[in-house]
Structure 1
Amino acid sequence: MNPVLRALVDGNGGLVTRRAAAQVLPRWVLEDASRSGRLLRLLPGVYVDAALADGEKSTPPLARVAPVLARRAAVAYTGGRGALSHLTALDVWKLRRQLPGEPVHLNVPNGAGLRSGPYLVVHHRRSFAPQPPHTLMRDGEPVTRLDQTLVDAWPLLPQVDRPATLIRAVNDRLTTPPRVAAALATVPKLADRAALRGLLDRLAAGCRSPLEIWGYDHVFVGPGMPAFQRQVRVRLGGRVVYLDLFAEVELVDIELDGATAHADPREREIDLRRDALLAARGVLVVRFTHRRLLYEPDEVRRETLSILATRRSQNFVVAPGAVRRPSIT
C-alpha cells in the first residue's frame, strides 16, 4: 500500500475516507488499494484496512468488521451530518448490546442525501440537527440524546427487552420518566405507543423493577389498599436506603424481593440489619418473594390488608388534637 495512504489508515484506527485521502493523494491511489484488496469499501467514500475484516465476502462489508469500527464508518459516511440512533445508540449508551445481524442506525436531517444500505438504516428526520440538543458525544461517538433514543428504539426492541432497557436507564439516573414522556409526545404514531406510555406512568409512580410493576398492576391495588409511596428515601445511620412500598399512616414498608434475592448470604445480612434499623424507628418491614407475588397474588393482597389493619389498630392512639406515631425522617 502507498506509504502515505498507509499512514492515513493507521492514524485513523484502520479507517480512511475518500475525502481525507483526496487531500494528500491522487484519486487513483485509493482506488488501486481497493481493487487490490488491501482496502475494503464499507460504505460510499469510506474504506477500512482489509485485514480488519472477516467473514464471507458475500456478507455485507459493514457486518464484517467489529461493531465499533462499523459505527465509526457509519458516522464517517454522514460527513458530520448525522448521529448514531435507535438500537445502535442504545449500545453506545451501554443499555443494550446490539445483537449480531442488527444493522447500524443513523439519524440524519431531511435532504442529507444519504441512503440506507446493507446492514445500515438511515432515518431522515425533519427536525433533526447533528448538534445539541439533538445529539451529544458519548465515548467519542455522536449519538442521539437518550430520551429520544429510548422512544425511537422501542418498536425495534424485542418485547422481552423493552421494560428492562427503560427501567435501567431510569434507575441509573441517565434520564427521567418525564423527559422520556416529552420525547414520546413528539412521536404520536409510534408503534406500541400505549405500552410505552403505560410503563412510563408506572415509573413516574415510583416503580423501579418489573416485579414492582407487577405488584402495582395486580397486587397492591383495589379496595382497602392505601396510596403507597414508592422508593421512599430514608437515611439509616451512615447510608441511604429506599423503601419499595411505604404506607405512611401505618408505618409499613413492603419489600418486593426479586427472583435472585438473598442468593448471597452477605446480602441477606445487610437486609436484616436494614430491617432492624427500620424497626427501631417503628417501621414494620414485610417482605414478599418473587414466587409469591406471581403465583399467590390474592393471598399476598389479603395478608397485606390484614397487616395494615392490625397496625392501624395497635400503633395509633388518637387523642384530642393529636396522632402519635414514630417518624422515619
Structure 2
Amino acid sequence: MNVALRELVERGGGLVTRAAAGQVVPSWTLEQACRGGHLVRVLPEVFVAAHLVDGRPGAPALSRLDPALGQRAALAWADGCGALSHLSALSAWGLHQQAVADPVHLSVPADAGLRTRPGVIVHRRRGLAIEPPHVVLRRGLTVIRLEQALVDSWPTLPPSGRRAPVIRAVNDRLTTPERLAAALGSAPKLIDRAALRTLLTRLADGCRSPLEIWGHEHVFTGPGMPAFRRQVPVRVGRRTMYLDMLAEPEQVNIELDGATTHGDPRQREIDLRRDALLATIGILVVRYAHRRLVHDIDAVRRETLAILATRRAGATA
C-alpha cells in the first residue's frame, strides 16, 4: 500500500475516508489499496484496514468490525449529519455492551439524505440538530444525549434487561429520574411505556437497585409501614454513609443485601463495621438478604413492624 496512505490509515486508527485520502494521494491509490487487499470498503466513502475486518462470510463488512470501530465508521459516513443513538449510544455511554455483528444505530435530522444500509440503522427524527444540546461528544464520538438514548433503547432491549441501564445511569449520576421523565414525555407511544414510567417513579423515590424496587413494591409498603426515607446521607466523624431505608422517628435503617454479596466474608466485614459505626449515633441497622426478602415476604413484614414497634416503645419508656 502507498506509504502516505498507510500512514493516514494508521493515524485514523485503521479507518480512512475518501475525502481525507484525497488530500494526500490520487484517487486511484485508494482503489489500488482495495484491489490489493489492504483496505476494505465498509460504507460509501469509508474504508478500513483489511486486517481489522473479520473473515465471517456473508455478513456486511461493517458488521465484521469491532463495535467501537464500526461506530467510528458509521459516524465518518454520516459526515456530521448523524449521531450515535439507541443501543449504540448506550455503548458509548458505557451502559451497554455491544457485540460484533450488532448494527450501529444513527439518528439523523428528518431531512437528512442518509438511509439504512447493511450494518447501520438510520433513525430519522424531527427537530433533531446535530449540535448541543441534542448531542454531546462522548469518548470522541457524537452521541445523542443520554436521556433520549435510554428512552429510545427501552423497547429494543429484552424485558429482563431494560431496567439495568436506567438504574446504572442514575446511580452513576449520569442523569436523574426527573430528566429521564422529561424525555419520556416526548415519547407517548413508546412500547411498554408504563413500566419505564413506574421505574422512574421508584428511582425518584430513592430506590437504587432492582432489590430495593422489589422491596418497595412488595414488602415495605402498606398498613403499619412508615414512610421510609431512601438513600439518606448520614455523616459519622469523617465518613458519610448512605442508608437504604431509614425510618427516621424510630432510627431504624433497613439494608437490603443483594444476592451477589451473600457469602462474601470481606463484604460481611465491611457491613459489620458500618453497622457498628451507625450504632454509635443510635441508628439500628436491620439487614435482609435477597433470598429472604423475595421468598419470605410475610415474615419480613412482621419482623420489620415488630422492630419498629419495639423502638417506638423504648423511646417513650
User: What's the TM-score once normalised by structure 2's chain length?
Assistant: 0.95
Aligned to 2:190: 190
1:179 aligns with 2:218: no
Q: Mean alpha-carbon deviation: is it higher for 105-114 or for 267-276? A: 267-276
- Percentage identity across aligned positions? 62
Shift in CA distance, 65/74, structure 1 to aligned 2, threshold 3 Å:
same
* Range 21-30 or range 179-188, more displaced: 21-30
Q: CA deviation at 1:96?
A: 1.5
What residue is the counterpart of 2:301 in the other structure?
A: 301
Q: Which amino acid aligns with 2:113?
A: G
TM-superposition CA deviations, 1:291-321 (whole Å, max 9, x none): 111000111111111111121111136xxxx
Amino acid paired to 1:40:
V
* Alignment match, 2:63: 63
Q: CA deviation at 1:262?
A: 5.1
- Structure 1 pair 57–266 and aligned structure 2 pair: CA distance change class (3 A): closer
Superposition pairs of residues 248-263 of structure 1, within 5 angstroms: 248-261=248-261, 263=263
- Name the counterpart of 1:327: none
Count of residues in correspondence between the two structures:
317
CA distance in 1, matches of 2:280, 2:52: 62
Please name the residue that 2:170 is paired with.
Answer: 170
Unaligned runs of 5+ in 1: 318-329
Aligned-partner SS, 2:123: strand
Q: Deviations over 1:132-159 (max 9, x none)?
A: 1111111111111111111111111122
| 1:118 corresponding residue in structure 2 | 118
Partner of 1:14: 14
User: Quick one: distance in 2 between partners of 1:251 and 1:244?
Assistant: 13
Map 1:1-329; keep pairs closer than 5 Å. 1-261=1-261, 263-316=263-316
Shift of residue 8 of structure 1?
2.3
SS in 1 for 2:72: helix
Unaligned 5+ segments in structure 2 are none
Note the alpha carbon deviations across 1:201-231, whole angstroms, 9 max, x for none.
0000000011000000000011111111011
Q: TM-score, normalised by structure 1?
A: 0.92
The answer to whether the Cα contact below 8 Å between 2:65 and 2:100 also exists between their aligned partners in 1 is: no
Q: How far did residue 56 of structure 1 move?
A: 2.4
Name the SS of the counterpart of 2:259 in structure 1: coil
SS at match of 1:9: helix
CA distance in 2, matches of 1:316, 1:133: 55
SS in 2 for 1:292: helix
Structure 2 SS opposite 1:107: strand
Change over 3 Å in CA distance of 1:309–1:136 after alignment to 2 = same
The question of whether the paired residues in 1 share the 8 Å contact of 2:229 and 2:246 is answered with: yes
Task: Answer yes or no: is the 8 Å Cα contact 2:34–2:40 preserved in 1.
Answer: yes
- How far apart are the structure 2 equivalents of 1:11 and 1:267? 45
Q: Which moved more, 1:209-218 or 1:54-63?
A: 54-63
**Could you list the per-position Cα deviations for residues 24-65 of structure 1 after superposition, in whole angstroms to 9, with x for gaps in the alignment?**
443333233323432211011111111221122411101112
Amino acid at match of 2:230: R
Distance (Å, rounded) in 2 between the aligned partners of 1:269 and 1:236: 18
CA distance in 1 between partners of 2:49 and 2:284 (Å): 64
